[in-house]
Amino acid sequence: MAAAPRPTASAAPRILHVCDSIIGGTGSYLAELLTPQAERYGADALLLLMPRQHVDHVEPRLRDSGIAFAYFDRPNRLIGMVKLLFAYLAVRRHFRPDIVHAHSFGAGVSTRIVHWSRRPRLLFCPHGWAFNMAVAPMVRRVIVAIERLLALRTDRILLISGHERESAEAVGMPRDKLVTIPNAIAADPPAIPAAAWDDARIKLLFVGRFDRQKGLDLLIDAIRPLGDKFALRVVGSPVVGKATDFGPPLDFVDFVGWRDRDGVSAEMKAADAVVVPSRWEGFGLVATEAMRLGKPVIASDAGGLNDILDHGRFGISFPAGDGAALRDVLTRIDADTLRSYGPRGHARFLDRYTTQRMVDQVDEVYRAMLR
């Protein structure tokens, strides 16, 4: 574990952010939140505890923000949670934060099971409830019980979508601790050119991990008989384990690997639409990134995605997990239909999903907790 700097006197709160993964949406969220926090509070007031194995996925702007990093080993999820617990205790003792801001299930468990006093204050953000994942009913009941118990040791629970809040209330989370602040990104996209993509077909883009949650298999199966109409570019890779097998090579699919945030924006600029076929989703940051660029979004109605598109008003929706419905959507759309959604989605983004609003609202939560 890297040594954290010793505390310095400051009027700003000292904030320890803890995450069990920085890959994907959580990593983007941390970059959007911590980078302006470093400017607002001073970089020495922040520290991020994260997996050592994910260091290459830290966005450059976060890496260069001046904040301190501490690390724990995460060979797998279960062992990683144990190692995170001990690393957290050491970092908390050394850094002496006023606020601990925990991100996602593993970090939420590891920080809250050892939270016995009123200091530091503890804020937990699930980034998509674990009990909303596709798990067996018994597993879901266990996760709900864990979250309800640990909520008693949490000062506030920050939810990144209206769907997350509805889920929390439905399982009996304490309403007085729930705060909804939608996820957000900077209002202005990176000033970079579009990626090269020369194809006469409608160009669709997927961005995300190759796991069951993100639904890439549904998308590929839906497009398989429509390869003469669509070209699909896939940005991402498996995060853990072997490469996913999507069957024989497909001439309408181009796998290009991971891209940094600028690279993702370049790919989006080249696409005609962005597809987000998630089976479950706490928010759906990829959708707002596309809307920022005025790109049409085709997304499932899973969780926060339904909030973003407002039941299909600001993008094209289909039932989550329904590959046949996605294929039907793709069969019916054309370039003109897609273009009509671009301006609507962009207006929705500017109204609800910009970073300045999110950072201001999180700051209000911090100050309320300290009062």
Looking at the predicted structure, is the pLDDT value of residue 7 above 60?
no
Looking at the predicted structure, is the pLDDT value of residue 342 above 80?
yes
**DSSP conformational letter for 223:** H
In degrees rounded to 5, what are phi and psi of residue 206?
Answer: -115, 135
Sheet of strand 316-318: strand arrangement: 253-257, 230-235, 202-207, 273-276, 297-300, 316-318
What pLDDT does 244 receive? 61
Burial classification of residue 227, based on how many CB atoms lie within 10 Å of its CB (0-12 exposed, 13-18 middle, 19 or more buried): middle
Looking at the predicted structure, is the pLDDT value of residue 135 above 90?
no
Query: Which among 65, 26, 13 has a CA at the least distance from the CA of 208?
Result: 26
Contacts of 280 (CB under 8 A, 6+ apart): 128, 132, 133, 134, 213, 302, 303, 320
Query: Which among 209, 60, 59 has a CA at the least distance from the CA of 128?
Result: 209
Q: Is the dihedral of CA 87, 92, 93, 94 positive or negative?
A: positive
What pLDDT does 5 receive? 40
Contacts of 48 (CB under 8 A, 6+ apart): 17, 18, 19, 30, 34, 62, 67, 68, 69, 70
Average pLDDT over residues 138-157: 96
What pLDDT does 260 receive? 86
Strands 121-125 and 99-103: parallel
Q: With helix as H, strand as E and coil as C, how does 36-64 read?
A: HHHHHHCHHHEEEEEEHHHHHHCCHHHHC
Query: Which among 304, 290, 220 has a CA at the least distance from the CA of 261?
Result: 290
Distance between CA atoms of residues 183 and 253, nearest Å:
30
**Within the chain, where are the H helices?**
25-41, 60-63, 77-95, 104-112, 137-151, 162-170, 216-223, 261-270, 285-292, 304-309, 323-332, 335-352, 355-370
Structure tokens at 252: 């309408």
Q: What is the pLDDT of residues 252-264, one digit of tens each?
A: 899 999 898 899 9
Average pLDDT over residues 20-36: 91
CB 15 within 8 A of CB 97: yes
Looking at the predicted structure, is the pLDDT value of residue 147 above 80?
yes
Mean pLDDT of the chain: 91
Q: Residues of the chain with pLDDT > 90: what percent?
A: 79
Domains assigned to the chain: 15-184+354-370 (3.40.50.2000), 202-352 (3.40.50.2000)
Distance between CA atoms of residues 291 and 309, nearest Å:
10
Name the pTM for this structure: 0.80
Structure tokens at 191: 């000033």
Q: With helix as H, strand as E and coil as C, how does 115-153 read?
A: CCCCCCEEEEECCCCHHHCCCCHHHHHHHHHHHHHHHCC
What pLDDT does 153 receive? 93
